[in-house]
Structure 1
């Protein structure tokens, strides 16, 4: 799992998105503390319970 400060992520977004596309997770940090995790879309969807995905697809809720 790779981590990147916000400024570095912003400067090299294409590089980090390529890593995510290849299956890697990226932890985004701010002042050395984790604030977000970027994961491949398929993996992110797998972590969301099916009943919530169904509601999101129906437009009843918004995920993220």
Structure 2
């Protein structure tokens, strides 16, 4: 089996709650699916750092497996 491991940094919105770049994560998932991979595992970790103007960062590690 072939695996691909990627990391995506999720950034909290400057105002309000939730991620400000979920479309980036969605793009990565769709890109790998189009290449014949499926998401096997996803883990997240808080970086504990604040971005410019506030907002936490969450590091998502995604493991894809080739179908």
Instruction: Give TM-score scaled by structure 2 length.
Output: 0.30
Higher strand residue share: 2
* Higher relative contact order (CA closer than 8 Å, sequence separation 6+): 2
The structure with more helix, counted as a fraction of residues: 1
